[in-house]
Amino acid sequence: MDAGRLLHDLFFDYTLRTVALGAMALGVVSGTLGAFAVLRRQSLLGDAISHAALPGIVLAFMFTGAKDPLWLVVGAAVAGWLGALTVMWIVRQSRLPEDTALGIVLSVFFGIGLVLLTYVQREPTASQAGLNTFLFGQAATLVVDDVIVIAVLGSVALGVVALFWKEFKLLSFDREFGKSLGIGMRGIDVLLTTVLVIAIVIGLQTVGVVLMSAMVVAPAAAARQWTDSLGVMVVLSAVFGALGGVTGAVASSTAAGIPTGPAIVLAVTMVVVLSIALAPRRGLVWEWVRHKRNQQTVRTGAVLTDLYALASHHKERGHGHKLAVLQAMDARRGGVRRTLDVLASRGLAARAADDTWSLTEQGEQEARAEIARREGDDA
Amino acid sequence: MSTIDIEIQLIAVVVAVSCALPGVYLVLRRMAMMSDAISHTVLLGIVLAFFVTGDIASPLLIIAAAATGMLTVTLVESVRGTRLVTQDAAIGLVFPALFSIAVILISRYAGDVHLDTDAVLLGELAFAPFTRLEVGGVDLGPKTLYVMGGVLLLNVGFIITFYKELKLTTFDAALAASLGFSPVLLHYAFMGLVSVTAVGAFDAVGSVLVVALMIVPPAGAYLLTEKLRWMIVLSALLGASSALAGYWVAWVADASIAGSIASVTGAQFLLIFLLAPERGVIAQSMRRARQRVEFAQLMLAIHLLNHEGTPEAERESRESELHEHLRWSPKFVARIVRLAEREELIEREAGGLRLTPAGRAVARSAIAA
Amino acid sequence: MNAIEINDLTVAYQDKPVLWDLDLTVPSGILMAVVGPNGAGKTTLIKAILGLIDPAAGQVLVQGKPYRRQRHLLAYVPQRGSVDWDFPTSVLDVVMMGRYGALGWIRRPGGRERALAMQALDKVGMTDLAERQISQLSGGQQQRVFLARALVQDACIYLMDEPFQGVDAKTERAIMDVLRELRDTGNTVIAVHHALQTVPEYFDWVTLLNVRLIAAGPVKEAFTEANIRLAYSGRVPFHSGTSNGTSNGDGSGKGDGDDADDAPWLSALR
């Protein structure tokens, strides 16, 4: 399918449009809430919540006997919320570290879900197949009702973030100070966790239980690289989430045999990789360039002062010095010829025909300044 | 009970013990969630090796899977090493990505073979005995049992051989390094062990039960004992017993064995969490209530001591006003005064309270400490 | 009226006492240092005044009333190490957090808060760094940001946990100037302090703590060698000149509690 056709379908094909809208909405919500989770070092809480949601989904299915999206989401939310509170409870009441508590909740809740699932799978109802998609997500099964549920719950979640923006910021940055201001930080903590649960459960049908946590971590981790402002980070994270959601969901519903969850996860992972590599100031490429530039500065400085030292033995300026001599003086660093070329291009050194080099007047001044700088550093 | 039933239980117990042993160190090293990561990403190794060999039973699959486990550890470490994301985020980024690649490869190119993602994730212990190990036409038993038996021996051997080194690097990596043990080397060797265990176990019970068996029994054992040795033994026992109990729950309820075992580990943990003699929630709250009363008596004694011989002593020692000063409820004050009197720490005197010599000594030594 | 009145305050972490039956009255308009060895309960005292910890007994009155109703009168400068300085936010943003309590729920900080924050930054000499991301600040600058955040709270009583920990000499002087100005305009400043040799120069009052109150009062009266000896149990770090050096481990209040762990006091009762 060519790109133009895909773009056309994205707007006019009912299924594709539904899928894209749903994936975009959940990407925005999980990206937004993920920013707070990542900043609070709770990246893996999302994993525990999404796994813990499984028994809730199955129970909701058993009680309603149908795949009504609202009830499944409510069931998932209640179970996921209980899972999150259980993690807090275990950490508060025992000496177990948080990651162990996460592992316990994740595996035990999921195990209970598996037990319940065996009962459901025995009933040969047509819609039970839909339940299986909760493991890895299947965007193609999204219908308008699902998208409405995602949009409504997602709006509630975003609304809460907007209303409690400054409290959530305070909670993430300096909880104790917030408490000293008389703000009920524990309540705020529970509220933020609850909204995180909502963000996760609305994505389960599309992305799946196993991989939903990546939708929380990846957009936020990518967004953090591009900005030093919480507001910008949250918006970027939402944008990355939406981008990943749409890309993955569309890829999955147009090509056969690609489950949506993995497709979305790979899309957002690409964004993370690009961000870690390319982001200005923090990114690895940037870091590498800065490192190289520093090295170059050190090298030119060294060759410059070497030339200056040689020149001080001769009266007339412009007396040429052999490249080999300079190379010997600078044996450890190497790249002397290239450095000399750099110096020449900046008008600091001049090359004579017999491959001998000398300082220009400007170069001499620069060398003196360099020596003064070094002595200043030593002092 | 048929032979199959016994074999399933035997496999379950061996898997549970194999997982619990390295699990102890995962819990103590605060790397519990690495078990989640590794037990998912080994799938990628299995898939890739399968594409190369075309044989689902090839031993290359296990080697490749263990290698992906190590790849996961290395990737997490290097992502964290950029200092651009935190450790928890690094885990949360790496394993979903690797797992996603595996799932897509399977559903695109291997949909028709026995590499069903559901089975991989959920595991089906009931099918484990059907793959037999045969040598020269003689049936020696389920293959999984041999694989996991080997893994178990490996784990036991590793932990016994490197007991002291593991203990040292777990509790004080800096000290270990200064003594010449390389914590990094041991870290990777240990994570290799976790990977091998996860591969062997995940084939039999699915990745989520691997997490349950690695984390939950050691977490329970950690609440029961202060000694590493005992923690290891208890973890193995807790794991084995939940494997057996889980099997029978599944048999009675006619449900997924892996799910039942995970649920039983959870129930077992809940019981320990609530009832553990020293660190259980109930024991702690009882101890706290008792200490509160003892502590309150001491507070009362120190309060009286502090104001002895001062001008406000009379006012500060009046029982009717104590709740004002100490901000206790009048009922609590009455109870503490009664108890302190019975312990002969204080005595009544003209509407006020006074320290006995014994009470004074107790208060003095408390604040001198 | 007295700024702070503490009556029979006992604070315990899991029934290990960190402060024993403390009576302390802090008059208004003074600069007071809280000194004592590690684990003496200095941070705990500050947190108890702020209502961050519930006491096992006793009470704290702020200008004559329980602190719950007087929170707006208190401003808090926590230890610098208590937050993640890599958090994506700017200097100005952190300072504006001081207004969150007064703003109440839901309302967002606006132009007025921004103006107040800029004023506070001016007082600590950091206006030109207002838009700077906080991870790019030096230790001294971070401490000044925290001070500015407390200043915008427009409180009467300032509680500071080791304001001079790990800051340069210039910042130390700048902070002292601000604290003196606060005192001179009728405010009260209470600071946990480690460098004993600067106590007489910087402060008017001093409280010597070692789980219980050793002495409190004007520096001339209370800051005697005998009291210091008592507070430090004979191990006076006075002349060592590096009294600061021992302070690093004295982190959060929890650390304080842990230090008190070894106290064999409980066995006294058995």
Q: What integer is the mean pLDDT of B240-256?
A: 92
Residue of C nearest to A224 (CA): C88
Residue B135, token pair as written in the block:
């040598």
**Mean pLDDT for chain B overall:** 86
Rg (CA), chain C: 18
B22-49: pLDDT as tens digits: 999 999 999 999 999 998 898 899 889 8
Q: What is chain C's length? A: 270
Q: Among the three residues B278, B304, B335, which one is the final residue of a domain in this structure? A: B278
CB-CB contact of C259 with C209 (8 Å) = no
CB-CB contact of C55 with C84 (8 Å) = no
**C-alpha A300 chain-centroid distance:** 38
By three-state DSSP, how is residue A376 classified? helix
CA distance A245 to A265: 8
Q: What integer is the mean pLDDT of B338-365?
A: 84
CA distance C169 to C164: 9
Q: Which amino acid is it at A79? A: A
C82 to A176: CB separation less than 8 angstroms, yes or no: yes
B44 against B179, higher pLDDT: B44
Q: Express as a percent the part of chain A with pLDDT over 70.
A: 93
CATH 1.10.3470.10 boundaries in chain A: 3-213
Residue keyed to tokens 């900005």: A227
C50 to A180: CB separation less than 8 angstroms, yes or no: yes
For the beta carbon of residue C107, count every other beta carbon within 10 angstroms: 12
pLDDT reading at B111 higher than 80? no
pLDDT band at A107 (very low <50, low <70, confident <90, very high): very high
Residue keyed to tokens 């999206």: A69
B132, B137, B138, B142 alpha-carbon torsion, rounded to 10°: 0
Inter-CA distances, C108 with B27, C93, C101, Å = 43, 12, 11
Q: What integer is the mean pLDDT of B221-237?
A: 94
Residues B154, B58 share a domain: yes
Report the pLDDT value the prediction gives residue A316, as an integer from 0 to 100: 67
Could you give the number of structural domains in chain B? Answer: 2
Residues B182, B323 share a domain: no
Subunit partners of chain B (3 or more CB pairs within 8 A): A, C
In chain C, what residues touch B306 (CB-CB under 8 Å)? 21, 23, 212
Q: Which amino acid is it at C266? A: L
pLDDT band at C245 (very low <50, low <70, confident <90, very high): very low
pLDDT reading at C28 higher than 50? yes
Q: What integer is the mean pLDDT of C64-88?
A: 88
CATH 1.10.10.10 boundaries in chain A: 285-378
Q: What integer is the mean pLDDT of A221-228?
A: 94
Residues B333, B210 share a domain: no
In chain B, what residues touch A135 (CB-CB under 8 Å)? 117-118, 121
Q: Mean pLDDT highest for which of A345-359, B186-200, B307-321?
A: B186-200
pLDDT reading at A352 higher than 80? no
Residues B300, B349 share a domain: yes
Subunit partners of chain A (3 or more CB pairs within 8 A): B, C
Q: Give A369's contacts (C-beta < 8 A, 6+ positions apart).
A: none
pLDDT reading at C192 higher than 60? yes
pLDDT reading at C267 higher than 50? no
Give me the interface pTM, i.e. the ipTM: 0.89
Q: Among the three residues B278, B300, B320, which one is the final residue of a domain in this structure? A: B278
Domain A285-378 annotated CATH 1.10.3720.10:
no
Range of the domain at B78: 3-278
DSSP H or E run through B354: strand B352-355
In chain A, what residues touch C149 (CB-CB under 8 Å)? 177
pTM: 0.85
**C-alpha B277 chain-centroid distance:** 17
Q: Which fold has domain A3-213?
A: ABC transporter involved in vitamin B12 uptake, BtuC (1.10.3470)
Q: What is the crossing angle of helices A45-64 and A212-226, to 10°? A: 140
Residues B260, B186 share a domain: yes
Q: Which of A38, A106, A107 to mutate to test the interface with B (most CBs of B within 10 A)?
A: A107
C15 to B295: CB separation less than 8 angstroms, yes or no: yes
**Which residue blocks in chain C are alpha helix, DSSP H?**
42-49, 91-96, 100-103, 111-123, 139-151, 169-184, 199-202, 219-222, 225-231, 253-259
In chain B, what residues touch C57 (CB-CB under 8 Å)? 296, 299, 303, 326-328
Report the pLDDT value the prediction gives residue C254, as an integer from 0 to 100: 36
A210 to B107: CB separation less than 8 angstroms, yes or no: no
Beta strands in chain A (DSSP E): 321-322, 349-351, 356-359
Residues B338, B227 share a domain: no
Inter-CA distances, B208 with A37, B33, B275, B329, Å = 23, 12, 26, 51
CA distance A248 to B104: 12
CA distance A137 to B170: 39
Of A180-184, B64-68, B126-130, C202-206, where does mean pLDDT reach its minimum? B126-130
A218 to B93: CB separation less than 8 angstroms, yes or no: yes
Of A59-73, B246-260, C37-51, C236-250, where does mean pLDDT reach its minimum? C236-250
Q: Among the three residues B278, B307, B337, which one is the final residue of a domain in this structure? A: B278
Q: Give B152's contacts (C-beta < 8 A, 6+ positions apart).
A: B14, B17, B18, B21
Here the CATH number for the domain that contains residue B342 is: 1.10.10.10
Subunit partners of chain C (3 or more CB pairs within 8 A): A, B
pLDDT band at C248 (very low <50, low <70, confident <90, very high): very low
Rg (CA), chain A: 30
**Which of B302, B316, B328 comes nearest C20 by C-beta?**
B302
First to last CA, chain C: 43
B58-91: pLDDT as tens digits: 778 888 888 999 999 999 999 988 888 888 899 9
Burial of C180 (0-12, 13-18, 19+ CB in 10 A): middle
Residues B156, B294 share a domain: no
C81 against B213, higher pLDDT: B213
Residues B182, B67 share a domain: yes
**Residue C220: half-sphere exposure toward Cβ, Cα within 13 Å:** 0
Here the CATH number for the domain that contains residue B38 is: 1.10.3470.10
Residues B198, B71 share a domain: yes
Residues B199, B107 share a domain: yes
pLDDT band at A336 (very low <50, low <70, confident <90, very high): confident
Instruction: Give the number of beta-carbon pairs within 8 Å between B and C.
Output: 63
Residue B353 phi, psi dihedral angles, 5° rounding = -115, 145
Rg (CA), chain B: 29
Q: Express as a percent the part of chain A with pLDDT over 90.
A: 45
Q: Mean pLDDT highest for which of A117-121, B89-93, B118-122, C64-68?
A: B89-93
**Nearest of B4, B9, B6 to residue B241 by alpha carbon:** B9
